[in-house]
Amino acid sequence: MLTSEWPDPYVSQTSHFIRRQAEFLQRAGVQLTVVAFRGAKNVRNYMRAWKDVRQRLRQQTYDLIHAQFGQSGLLALPKKLPLVVTMRGSDVLGIVRDRDGRQSLAGRILKRASRLVARSADAVILVAPHLGDGLKTRAPAYVIPSGLDLSLFRPMSQTKARRKLGFDGHEKLILFVGRPATARKRFALAEQAVELLKTRMPARLVVAWSVSHRQVPVYMNACDALIFTSMQEGSPNVVKEALACNLPVVSVKVGDVPERLQGIEGCEVCADHQPETIAAALERVLTRGTRIKGVAAVRQLDEKLMTRKVISVYRTVLRRSRR
């Protein structure tokens, strides 16, 4: 498994889903070697990682390569083994610069590299259907979202969760999960919406960043709603994790969020990206004041089930390669 994203226990990151998939694949009996490297938009880093992969392929026998994110698949080229690549978002949508919120040159290069890898792949996994637009690959594409650890993300007592975090038991709390400085997440838009909401009812915005991954479900159970304002996404895990905790979600239309929230009473997908619209939706959700029935909507995303689907892709690719 090749990945340019791997969670560091000492750094706040959002790539825990890759480690989780790797661990569940191993539990399912896959003998897995993970090559994690830091690309950091640096060609030299990719070249060092490419040489590392070539050396490993000479020293050990493998059946196939699974690249997480399109750019990681560059390390598998030219191909010596069947290649499966998972497209997750920025690899096909591009990188948004933090300083001005616009697409970067590195992001445009990244998209081209990911399309090259997709055309060379034996199978493409998409975490959301819209990520397949424009890939122009002959490889079969499979939609397999990132799975959830439902033993970690689950409903718990709001009173106990607030007590753990030291939160007031009577406040209306709105949760934002993500790095506020990341332009793509549009934290300023979330702030504007909550400030407008405060003119109608008392509420407070809580930011879950620089906290351990295991603490995130505690925040979700402690709060009254999740606000999601990203301008670009694939299949955002935080929305699915909130549903697993029965936390109401107020989101703009982005990625596969509208499909995830469809039919779930107590969640809202805003008609536009205006702070007034988001504030009104938050007011309705907080006035309703109850948890949602979100667990049923994400039960099929259990990581164990997603792992079986990934292994099924592996087997299909290997059967074709042997023929």
With pLDDT > 90 as the criterion, what percentage of the chain qualifies?
85
Separation between Cα atoms, residue 74 and residue 50, nearest integer Å:
8
**Tens of pLDDT along 222-236?**
999 999 999 999 999
Separation between Cα atoms, residue 291 and residue 155, nearest integer Å:
10
Asked whether the predicted pLDDT for residue 13 surpasses 60, the reply is no
86 and 172, same domain (yes or no):
no
Q: 91-95, 189-193, 250-254, 297-301: which has the minimum mean pLDDT?
A: 91-95
| Contacts of residue 55, Cβ cutoff 8 Å, sequence gap at least 6 | none
65 and 183, same domain (yes or no):
no
143 and 204, same domain (yes or no):
no
Quote the domain boundaries for residue 294: 158-300
Where do we find the tokens 């948890």? 291
**Tens of pLDDT along 196-224?**
999 999 999 999 998 988 999 999 999 99
Q: Is 152 part of a structural domain of the chain?
A: no
The answer to whether the CB of 134 falls within 8 A of the CB of 141 is no
287 and 185, same domain (yes or no):
yes
Separation between Cα atoms, residue 125 and residue 88, nearest integer Å:
9
Asked whether the predicted pLDDT for residue 9 surpasses 70, the reply is no
3-state secondary structure of 199: coil
Q: Is 205 part of a structural domain of the chain?
A: yes
312 and 239, same domain (yes or no):
no
Burial of 170 (0-12, 13-18, 19+ CB in 10 A): exposed
306 and 187, same domain (yes or no):
no
CA atoms within 13 A on the CB side of 38: 3
Q: Is 41 part of a structural domain of the chain?
A: yes
Note the pTM of the prediction, 2 decimals.
0.90
Asked whether the predicted pLDDT for residue 102 surpasses 90, the reply is no
10 and 105, same domain (yes or no):
yes
Residue at 191: amino acid letter: E
The answer to whether the CB of 119 falls within 8 A of the CB of 136 is yes
The answer to whether the CB of 203 falls within 8 A of the CB of 174 is yes
The answer to whether the CB of 14 falls within 8 A of the CB of 40 is no
Structure tokens at 293: 């029935």
CA 302 to chain centre: 14
Q: Residue 201: which region, alpha, beta or left (left: phi > 0; alpha: psi -120 to 50)? A: beta
Q: Is 110 part of a structural domain of the chain?
A: yes
Q: Is 198 part of a structural domain of the chain?
A: yes
Mean pLDDT value across the chain: 94
CATH of the domain at 219: 3.40.50.2000
115 and 169, same domain (yes or no):
no
Tally of domains in the chain: 2
20 and 113, same domain (yes or no):
yes
125 and 165, same domain (yes or no):
no
Give the CA distances from residue 295 to residues 138, 274, 300, 312, 319, in Å, rounded to whole numbers and listed in that order. Answer: 36, 29, 9, 25, 36
Q: Is 259 part of a structural domain of the chain?
A: yes
Separation between Cα atoms, residue 7 and residue 262, nearest integer Å:
31
Q: Is 42 part of a structural domain of the chain?
A: yes
Dihedral pair phi/psi, residue 231, rounded to 5°: -90, -20
3-state secondary structure of 231: coil
255 and 198, same domain (yes or no):
yes
| Contacts of residue 245, Cβ cutoff 8 Å, sequence gap at least 6 | 153, 154, 155, 156, 217, 220, 221, 294
294 and 306, same domain (yes or no):
no
Q: Is 153 part of a structural domain of the chain?
A: no
